Each structure stands twice: as structure tokens, then as C-alpha cells.
Amino acid sequence: MRADKAGPIWIQILDKSSAFRIGAFDVLAAVEAAAMTAAALNAGDEKSGLKDWTKIKFDRQIIAIARVAGSRCIYSHDPHFKTLVGPQGPQVITLDDLPLPPKGAQMLIPFHEENKGDGEED
């Protein structure tokens, strides 16, 4: 949503990646989303404690797509996403949950003045 003009480029990148799969909101996902809403209604809290009804519906659709596709985890920066997913899963991983990259994984490339002019590119 926040990609703006870069959105189509990101979709192409994700679509070509073997690590990600873009799922569709199909009939099975719609049934799953309806079951999630029904469960919330039966628990007496249709909005699962959240306020923005439109956002809740979209988030339930995302969760339903992930469940139907058999996803093990969802990456989200939304602090309320874990509430909607509940214990049934999939696991929600936030940016705060991600480990920091190892220091020193990128080696430094030494550029020295004495290499200039020897015919090699810098």
C-alpha cells in the first residue's frame, strides 16, 4: 500500500521470487474469511477488539489467503495483526521480531589511491 509508484515493480520482484507467492482471494479464502468473522461474532466481538471495520475485513482476507495457501508465517508491521490471526496461525512476524543482520557480513572493499591509473577500473 505504501509503495506508491514502485508498487508494480515490487509485485514483479515478489512474483519472480521463489521465496514468496502472491495468493488470490478465491472461493476457499472467502469461506475461511467468513468463518473467521462468524467465530468473532460467536465470541461476541465481531471486530476482534479493533475499531476500523474496513481494515479488519482486509486483514481477515489476507489471513484467509495465507491459511488456505498453507503459509507458515505472515510478515506484518501492523501491531493488531497478531490479534486477528489468533492461536490458529499462521505465525505473525513483525519487524521487531526479525534478527539484526550479522555484522561483518558485507566485507569492505579496499580502494587505495595507488591503484588509480594502472588500467583497472575503480
Domain presence at residue 77 = no
Q: Work out how many domains the chain is built from and give that number.
A: 1
Domain presence at residue 120 = no
User: Residue 92: phi, psi to the nearest 5?
Assistant: -105, 125
Domain presence at residue 98 = no
CA 59 to mean position of chain CA atoms: 11
Q: What pLDDT is recorded for position 115?
A: 54
Residues β-bridged to residue 40: none
Q: Position of cell 588500467?
A: 119
What is the span of the domain harbouring residue 34?
Answer: 4-71
- One-letter amino acid of 52: D
Digit-coded pLDDT (tens) for 51-69: 888 888 999 999 999 999 9
70 backbone φψ class: left, alpha, beta (φ>0; ψ -120 to 50): left
- Determine the Cα–Cα distance for residues 24 and 64; give it in Å rounded to an integer: 10
Q: DSSP assignment, residue 46?
A: T
pTM exceeds cut of 0.75: no
- Determine the Cα–Cα distance for residues 56 and 63; give it in Å rounded to an integer: 10
Domain presence at residue 84 = no
Domain presence at residue 58 = yes
Digit-coded pLDDT (tens) for 69-100: 999 999 888 888 888 898 889 999 988 888 88
Q: What pLDDT is recorded for position 114?
A: 60
Domain presence at residue 86 = no
Domain presence at residue 15 = yes
Domain presence at residue 35 = yes
